[in-house]
Amino acid sequence: MRRILLLLLISGLLAACSTHEPVYHFAKGPVFGTSFSIIYEYEEGKSLDEDIIQVMSEFNSSLSNYDSASVISRLNNNDSKVVADRYFTECFERAHEISVLTGGAFDLTVAPLVNVWGFGFAKEDSVFPGLIDSLLEFTGYEKVVLKDGKLIKNNPGIMLDASAIAKGFGVDVVSAYLESQGIVNYLVEIGGELRCKGFNPKDSLWRVGVDKPLENMLEREFQAILNLTNISMATSGNYRQFYEKDGVKYSHTIDPHTGYPVRHSLLSATVLAEDCMTADAYATAFMVMGLNKARQLVEADSSLEALFIYSNENGDLVTWASEGMVDKL
């Protein structure tokens, strides 16, 4: 009996010695027309990188406007054989909810307008008022519904662009995969949108920088540093994605109501929410709404926190932070 107990004890010690201690793994690369960076704590000598890439590839095949074989591209082209998958369905339903809550400031059907201004997945056209008016006929979240996996449009010319919500949703999908593997400490970032949980390699809160909204910066400067955990964050701004033509700057944020790029004092909107899909969509909506309306919505919704950077009448950068955001600065 003693020998059996001794053997069991030795076996247990050997098993304990052979178990790899958890370490932090780092993965990065191109995805969704941008880049990703992921840090996660997992067993030493093991990696989930290939599985993560596979998850992102499957997601991309659903919601990428740049992949002609993706679900969203086929639905845009009125392919009667395609049926919406789970990624498209969840994205569409949440986008519709946020469209309603923001009075249409967020709208997936903005694709033709984004394209004509040169920020989408097609080449820029010569823009004139009559063209914008004609494209507004195809714009409006209420003009399209999803029923039994089929996208029903009021007009076959309606096209969807999920770029203002898909990166955030992709963050959620990768995060959910990591959690399914028992990972409790991670940070997932795709194109600047992110979700973090637990603690960083220094066993402290994750520190995330918010860029100062300045054009043509040779090096990044931070307007603020946030200490975060168990939350998602997304930032939208007009200070980098724009083009200048005939002396006029056109931002990449298009107002679905007017068909034109927004022009107001709000330069950057950073949003915290439970999931990154929500944070991503609201960050875009707030850039459409402008400072005052965005502030009112944040103050009325306890599930959202925000940091807005805007220019005052003197051209100086000014920040406004919601109460919950202030605690994280």
CA nearest neighbour of 287 among 319, 305, 303, 309: 309
pLDDT-based confidence at residue 6 (cuts at 50, 70, 90): very low
Confidence of residue 311 (pLDDT cuts 50, 70, 90): confident
Take residue 148 and report the two structure tokens written for it. 């039994």
Measured CA to CA, the distance from residue 290 to residue 179 in angstroms comes to 36
8 Å CB contact between 314 and 284:
no
pLDDT score, position 130: 87
Query: Is residue 228 predicted with pLDDT exceeding 80?
Result: yes
pLDDT above 70 (res 250)? no
d(CA 39, CA 220): 21
pLDDT reported for residue 217 = 56
Average pLDDT over residues 101-110: 98
Query: Coil, helix or strand for 15?
Result: helix
For residue range 210-227, list pLDDT tens digits in order. Answer: 998 876 555 678 899 999
Cβ neighbours of 254 (radius 10 Å) = 30
pTM score:
0.89
User: What are the φ and ψ backbone dihedral angles of 165, each rounded to 5 degrees?
Assistant: -140, -20
Portion of the chain with pLDDT greater than 70, in percent: 86
With CA atoms as reference, report the closest residue to 146 among 202, 90, 100.
Answer: 90
Which residues are within 8 A (CB) of 302 and not within 5 positions of it... i.e. 6 or more apart? Answer: none
Tokens 């920040």, residue? 319
* Residue 91 Cα to chain centre, angstroms: 11
Q: For 204-261, give the secondary structure using H, E and C.
A: CCEEEEEECCCCCCCCCCEEEEEEECCEEEEEEECCCCEEEECCEEEECCECCCCCCE
CATH of 22-326, picked from 3.10.520.10, 3.40.50.300, 1.10.10.10, 3.40.190.10, is 3.10.520.10
Lowest mean per-residue pLDDT among 127-141, 149-163, 167-181, 185-199: 127-141
Determine which of 27-36, 175-184, 197-206, 217-226 has the lowest per-residue pLDDT on average. Answer: 217-226
Query: Which residues are CB-neighbours of 32 under 8 A, at least 6 positions away?
Result: 56, 60, 64, 166, 167, 170, 190, 191
Average of per-residue pLDDT across 72-87: 97
Print burial letters for 216-241: b (CB count within 10 Å at least 16), e (below 16). Answer: eeeeeeebbebebeebbbbbbbbbee
* Domain ranges for the chain: 22-326
pLDDT tens-digit map of 269-299? 999 999 999 999 999 999 999 999 999 999 9
**Does an H or E element contain 286, and which?**
helix 276-289
Query: How do residues 117-140 score in pLDDT, each as one tens digit?
Result: 876 554 555 677 889 999 999 999
DSSP 141: G
Average pLDDT over residues 308-318: 90
Beta carbons of 74 and 62 less than 8 angstroms apart? no
Q: What is the separation of C-alpha 63 from the centre of its chain, rounded to a whole number of angstroms?
A: 12
Instruction: Report the distance separating Cα 10 and Cα 33, nearest Å.
Output: 53
Q: How far apart, in whole angstroms, are the C-alpha atoms of residue 318 and residue 96? A: 32
